[in-house]
A = this chain, B = another copy of it.
Amino acid sequence: MTQIQHHVYGKSRVRVMKVIRDGKNHSVVDLHVDVSLEGDFARAYTDADNSNVVPTDTMKNTVYVFARRHALDTIEAFALDLGRHFVKTYETVTRARITVSRSPWSPLVSDGDQHAHVQPSVERATCQASVTDAEAVLHSGLSDLVILKTSKSAFSGFPRDEYTTLPESEDRLFGTSVTAQWRYFDPTVDYNAARTDVRTALVSAFAEHDSKSVQHTLHFMGEAALRECRAIDEIKLSMPNRHCLLVDLSPFGLDNPNEVFQPVDEPHGSIEAVLER
CB distance B149 to A19 under 8 Å? Answer: no
Contact of A271 among B9, B52, B61, B173 (CB under 8 A): B9
Q: Which of A29-74 contact B (CB under 8 A)?
A: 30, 34, 36, 41, 44-46, 48-58, 60-62, 64-65, 67-69
CB distance B55 to A164 under 8 Å? Answer: yes
Question: How many monomers of this protein are in the complex?
Answer: 4
Cβ of A260 within 8 Å of any chain B Cβ, yes or no, is yes
Residue from A12, A207, A208, A264 with most neighbouring chain B CB atoms (10 Å):
A207
- Known contacts A55-B164, A146-B119, A252-B65: does B15 contact A267 (CB below 8 Å)? yes
Q: Which of A236-277 contact B (CB under 8 A)?
A: 240-241, 244, 247, 249, 251-254, 256, 258-277
Cβ of A193 within 8 Å of any chain B Cβ, yes or no, is no
Question: Which of A105-113, A126-134, A135-143, A184-192 binds B?
Answer: A105-113
Cβ of A229 within 8 Å of any chain B Cβ, yes or no, is no
Cβ of A203 within 8 Å of any chain B Cβ, yes or no, is yes
Bound CA–CA A166/B11 (angstroms): 14
Interface of A is mostly: mixed
CB distance B147 to A56 under 8 Å? Answer: no
| Complex interface bits, A64-90 against B, C-beta within 8 A gives 1, otherwise 0 | 110111000000000000000000011
CB distance B268 to A13 under 8 Å? Answer: yes
- Known contacts A159-B53, A260-B18, A274-B5: does B149 contact A45 (CB below 8 Å)? no
Closest residue of chain B to A261, judged by CB? Answer: B17
Closest residue of chain B to A30, judged by CB? Answer: B263
- Known contacts A206-B116, A213-B50, A275-B3: does B108 contact A19 (CB below 8 Å)? no
- Known contacts A116-B206, A158-B50, A249-B65: does B218 contact A19 (CB below 8 Å)? no
A interface residues, Cβ below 8 angstroms from B? 1-21, 24, 26, 28, 30, 34, 36, 41, 44-46, 48-58, 60-62, 64-65, 67-69, 89-90, 105, 108-109, 112-113, 115-122, 145-152, 155-159, 161-166, 173, 203-204, 206-208, 212-216, 218-219, 222-223, 226, 234, 240-241, 244, 247, 249, 251-254, 256, 258-277
